[in-house]
Amino acid sequence: MTLLWVVPLGLLVGIALGSLGGGGSILTVPALVYLLGQAPAAATTGSLIIVGLTSLAGMVPHLRKGTVQVSRGLLFGVLGTVGAVVGSRLAAGVPAAWLLTVFSGLMLVVAFLMARRLRRRTPATAAAQASGPAGPVRVVVAATAVGLLTGFFGVGGGFAVVPALVLVLGLSMPAAVGTSLLVIAINSATALASRAGAGIALDWTTIGAFAAVAVVGSLLGSRVAARVSPRTLSITFIAMLVAVSAYMAAASIPLLVA
């Protein structure tokens, strides 16, 4: 019965990624935990597979449009591998209730960042492009932080990657969106490899079906974005993040004091 949730959930995540250029994958973990009944450790690991595959598929249209800067994406992704490995190791020792509570807080942070970017998108982007790329230390710090986020929470981190590529590497917004998918794929693969041998049982049927539907959704996302204004999509997604975060907090925080 739970597999009936895979199609709408996978489409939702994929469409969000394809239309918003990041942020959609943060819904994967709560979907796997609360609607598909997976343990948090299995959900964060399975999410890495889903996010990685969806990012690779979603990158294809951007490659055709020439908005993926492969060399810079590979550099940023490789620099983030240390953070991805460390994040994965840290997550292994965190109790499930704490992991879900912190994750709910992360969702609120993402909602805030998306709302702020929605209000200041044009000025922020123009200022970032005018300032040019940052120094090597800031590049390493930003890449490591994004990798840490991916490894610990099992999310793509597109909401952090896109601003980082704009502010730190000086990419234009279209190039940042396309290049972020390459970075997400690299970080997801690294974090997943670091969890290998940890004895986490995965439901490959659910993961495979979810990933397949999310890939289709990511390809449909560009069509959705063409018919619905980015502002409307963003506001709807922000409201969804806040609602899911509140539910996760209400379900996990009482377990901390139980």
Per-residue pLDDT of the chain (258 residues; tens, 9 = 90+): 466 778 888 888 888 777 666 666 788 888 888 888 888 888 888 988 998 898 888 888 888 888 899 999 999 999 988 888 898 888 877 888 888 898 888 888 888 877 887 776 554 444 444 455 567 888 888 889 888 888 888 777 777 787 788 878 888 877 888 888 899 889 889 888 888 877 788 999 999 999 999 988 888 876 776 677 767 877 887 888 888 889 888 988 888 876
- Report d(CA 100, CA 124) in Å as an integer: 32
User: For the chain, what is the radius of gyration of the CA atoms?
Assistant: 17
How many Cα neighbours within 13 Å face the side chain of 5?
14
218: tokens are 């990511």
pLDDT of residue 210: 92
User: Which segments of 21-69 does DSSP mark as H helices, in order?
Assistant: 28-30, 40-65
Contacts of 95 (CB under 8 A, 6+ apart): none
* Tokens 């940890």 belong to residue: 198
pLDDT of residue 126: 46
- Report d(CA 153, CA 147) in Å as an integer: 10
The residue among 207, 163, 203 whose CA lies nearest residue 50 is 207
Q: What is the rounded end-to-end Cα distance, in angstroms, of the chain?
A: 30
User: Which segments of the chain does DSSP mark as H helices, in order?
Assistant: 6-20, 28-30, 40-65, 70-79, 81-92, 96-131, 136-153, 158-167, 173-195, 204-227, 230-256
* Tokens 């993040």 belong to residue: 241
Q: What are phi and psi of 44, to 5 degrees?
A: -70, -30
pLDDT of residue 49: 92
User: Which segments of 196-229 does DSSP mark as H helices, in order?
Assistant: 204-227
pLDDT of residue 88: 84
- Report d(CA 28, CA 73) in Å as an integer: 23
Contacts of 57 (CB under 8 A, 6+ apart): 215, 218, 219
Alpha carbon dihedral 93, 151, 80, 239, in 10-degree steps, equals -130
- pTM, two decimals, is 0.79
